[in-house]
Amino acid sequence: MAKKILMSVNMRCEKCRSAALKIGGQTTGVTFVGLEGKEKDQVVVIGEGIDAAGLVLRLRKKVGFADLISVTDVDTS
C-alpha cells in the first residue's frame, strides 16, 4: 500500500525548494513529489516503503527545519 507523507519545510528561497524536491525524489520507492500549502511550504511525497522519519532527517540536514505533519494510506487504483 502506498503512503502519502506530508511535511512542513522551512524553505527561504527557490534553491531550498529545489533541494527539498530533489531529496524527496532521490528516496527509493517514491512515485510522486510535490509542493502544497498556501505558501508552497509543504512537501508531499507518495510511494511505497518510504522511511518518513529518515526523510525528515535528511531534509533537516540539507534544507533546514522540517516537521512531519501526517502519514496516510493512499489507494493507487
pTM recorded for the entire structure? 0.89
Nearest to 65 by CA among 5, 3, 7: 7
Query: How many whole angstroms separate alpha carbon 77 and alpha carbon 27?
Result: 23
Tens digits of per-residue pLDDT, 10-66?
Answer: 988 999 999 999 999 999 999 999 999 888 999 999 999 999 999 999 999 999 999
Angle between helices 14-26 and 52-62 (to 10 degrees): 150
Q: Find the distance separating the first CA and the last CA of the chain, reported in whole Å.
A: 10
Distance of CA 25 to the CA centre of its chain: 9
